[in-house]
Amino acid sequence: MAHLKKNWKYVLFFLLISAPIFLHLSSFSIRLWDESRLATNACEMLYSGNYITTTFNGAPDMWNTKPPLMIWLQVLSMKLFGINEWAVRFPSAMAALLTSLLLLLFSIRYLKNFWFGFIWVLVLVTSSGYIEIHAARTGDYDALLTLFLTLAGFSFYFFLDNSKTKYLYLFFISMTFAVLTKSAAALLILPGFFIYTIIMKKILFLLKNKHLYIGFMIFLVCTSSYYILREMENPGYINAMLNNEFGKRFITTIEEHRHSFWFYFEYLFSYKYIIWVFFIPWGIFVGIKNKDLKINNLTLFTSITILTYFLVISSAQTKLTWYAVPMYPFLAFLVGLFIYHIFNLILKKFSRKAYHCFFLIVIFLGPYTIILSKIVRQKQPVWQKEENGVCYYLKDIKDNETQNDNFTILYEGVFTHGKFYLNPLLAEGKNIKLKDCNKNFDTGEIVLFSQSEVKTFLEERYELKILEEFHITGLYEIVGKK
């Protein structure tokens, strides 16, 4: 009990950051596109035992050409927890937790300041764009990529600051894992590091260091080894990877994700970061004016990293909101600087701890409540209800919450997210079929749907008997043709 009382602030820290990351993590269905694709890749890898070539529907996956580090972790998670939403998302959640712990450790060890680290991490876990689908809350690449890029960034900064070789090697190891997570996306942060090195007049020092070349060779051998092994097993993979990762996404617009150059800056002013975005310039101002040289240099480093990264991803033709996720720990640093500055002024003026606690409660209660409310309520726009309605019904069958297992799913479009639930049910011998609107339906056939256009299609062509209906999701029996 005395030990707990002594370390209360660490216990409080762990509880506060764990809730937004892990709470209700498996309460919503697997999401279409990347998460469902990775989940399928992981399931097939688990069953096949082939850990080099990722597959989709039993064939080498040439659409998702990224290295499989995330998929390997999901396979391990599935071995521990079974094939379910928790297992798919656990690696992302753990990456978010480790990122938070890394920031706190950095603040304690380098800045000798627990409370700045505490504030820094609270800003991160109350950032809606980070505690979000396609980031810390789903089985996608971006939370894991963010962990490795954050570690790489601050390792590189430490090396330039104190010239300790171990940090240069840690940088290359981190970059290796980042590339094995999301391929070329890991390299987009490097221009900022290069510019900071020039500004600090450390470029010659870096180029003359033999460990730079040894570290680069380690990085090159480790990353290229996977690509070579995959090419040997799956001829044509490297060409597909180069075209997809280095060509299509930057030079052309894929899947209609075309936006203006200012897309990411406008995104920060949306609900994703609106709570903290106005603190950023004040954080830069406080950091530059700070008498501590460490804070000055860190402010410069994070500002340059953020600016150059946003310029790089803004120059790409394909723009997606989750491409900005790796910047959230760096943005949180600048926001945290300003909040800690006010906190420190209160600390100097008032000796009673109640004032400090009250200030933190006033600052973080609103953002923290908003994040938890979003997680608990899981509100979805209509299009997401239509997209995921069938998945929830299949999830209920999988969880033994409904006994209806003899019907036809009528779904228009890509159904990868649904197959995550459908395939295990088919393996159990359930009599469930999958059709689209081009197929014919027999009298007495029971149809499950969740899309409004599908409902219109059925109502226009068939006499129907409603068996179950929940919001947009329906289970109808075909009585006859109209």
Q: Average pLDDT over the chain, rounded to whole?
A: 89
Residue 260's pLDDT band, with cuts at 50, 70 and 90, is: confident
User: Are residue 371 and residue 393 in the same domain, yes or no?
Assistant: no
Higher-confidence position of 322 and 121? 121
State yes or no: pLDDT of 280 exceeds 90. yes
Range of the domain at 368: 2-377
Per-residue pLDDT of 28-50, as tens digits, reads: 899 988 999 999 999 999 999 99
User: Are residue 93 and residue 232 in the same domain, yes or no?
Assistant: yes
Nearest-angstrom CA–CA distance, 308 and 446: 55
* Confidence (pLDDT) at 303: 97
User: Are residue 169 and residue 242 in the same domain, yes or no?
Assistant: yes
Give the residue-averaged pLDDT of 90-102.
Answer: 98
State yes or no: pLDDT of 314 exceeds 90. no
Residue 108's pLDDT band, with cuts at 50, 70 and 90, is: very high
State yes or no: pLDDT of 99 exceeds 60. yes
Per-residue pLDDT of 122-146, as tens digits, reads: 999 999 889 988 899 999 999 999 9
Nearest-angstrom CA–CA distance, 253 and 240: 16
* Confidence (pLDDT) at 15: 93
User: Are residue 307 and residue 389 in the same domain, yes or no?
Assistant: no
Nearest-angstrom CA–CA distance, 257 and 82: 34
Q: Residues, the chain, total?
A: 482
Direct distance between the N- and C-terminal alpha carbons of the chain, in angstroms, rounded to an integer: 73
User: Are residue 370 and residue 419 in the same domain, yes or no?
Assistant: no
Nearest-angstrom CA–CA distance, 466 and 477: 6
Residue 270's pLDDT band, with cuts at 50, 70 and 90, is: confident
User: Are residue 370 and residue 405 in the same domain, yes or no?
Assistant: no
Q: Which residues contact 439 (CB under 8 A, 6 or more apart)?
A: none
Nearest-angstrom CA–CA distance, 451 and 473: 7
User: Are residue 358 and residue 420 in the same domain, yes or no?
Assistant: no
Residue found by looking up tokens 């082939």 in the block: 50
Query: Which of 338, 357, 377 is a domain's end point?
Result: 377
State yes or no: pLDDT of 257 exceeds 70. no
Nearest-angstrom CA–CA distance, 88 and 26: 9
Give the residue-averaged pLDDT of 52-57.
Answer: 93
User: Are residue 402 and residue 289 in the same domain, yes or no?
Assistant: no
Give the residue-averaged pLDDT of 442-468.
Answer: 89
Nearest-angstrom CA–CA distance, 49 and 378: 35
User: Are residue 141 and residue 224 in the same domain, yes or no?
Assistant: yes
Q: Hey, what are 427's tokens?
A: 């393996």
Dump the DSSP string for 18-71: HHHHHTTTTSSPPPTTHHHHHHHHHHHHHHH---SS-EETTEE-SSS-S-SHHH
Amino acid residing at 350 = F
Q: Hey, what are 354's tokens?
A: 């109640």
State yes or no: pLDDT of 252 exceeds 60. no
Query: Which of 377, 407, 429 is a domain's end point?
Result: 377
Q: Which long-range contacts (CB under 8 A, 24 or more apart) does 188-194 make?
A: 188/309, 188/312, 188/313, 189/149, 189/152, 189/153, 189/305, 189/309, 189/326, 191/308, 191/309, 191/312, 192/304, 192/305, 192/306, 192/307, 192/308, 192/309, 193/153, 193/156, 193/305
Per-residue pLDDT of 373-428, as tens digits, reads: 888 877 666 657 888 889 988 888 877 767 777 899 999 988 999 999 998 888 88
User: Are residue 285 and residue 167 in the same domain, yes or no?
Assistant: yes
* Confidence (pLDDT) at 383: 59
Higher-confidence position of 256 and 297? 297
Whole-model pTM above 0.95? no
* Confidence (pLDDT) at 272: 58
State yes or no: pLDDT of 249 exceeds 90. no
User: Are residue 387 and residue 443 in the same domain, yes or no?
Assistant: yes
* Confidence (pLDDT) at 256: 52
* Confidence (pLDDT) at 358: 87
Residue found by looking up tokens 């406008």 in the block: 266
Higher-confidence position of 305 and 386? 305
Interhelix angle for 114-125 vs 8-22, to 10°? 10
Residue found by looking up tokens 């190891």 in the block: 173
State yes or no: pLDDT of 71 exceeds 90. yes
State yes or no: pLDDT of 449 exceeds 60. yes
Contact assessment for residue 480 and residue 463, using Cβ atoms and an 8 Å cutoff: yes
Q: Hey, what are 57's tokens?
A: 């529907």
State yes or no: pLDDT of 177 exceeds 70. yes
Contact assessment for residue 146 and residue 71, using Cβ atoms and an 8 Å cutoff: no
Query: Which of 377, 401, 416 is a domain's end point?
Result: 377
* Confidence (pLDDT) at 472: 80
Per-residue pLDDT of 210-229, as tens digits, reads: 999 999 999 999 999 999 99
State yes or no: pLDDT of 254 exceeds 60. no
Give the residue-averaged pLDDT of 311-317.
Answer: 85
Give the residue-averaged pLDDT of 317-330.
Answer: 88
State yes or no: pLDDT of 356 exceeds 60. yes
What's the total number of domains in the chain? 2
Share of the chain above pLDDT 90, in %: 60
* Confidence (pLDDT) at 258: 64
User: Are residue 398 and residue 335 in the same domain, yes or no?
Assistant: no
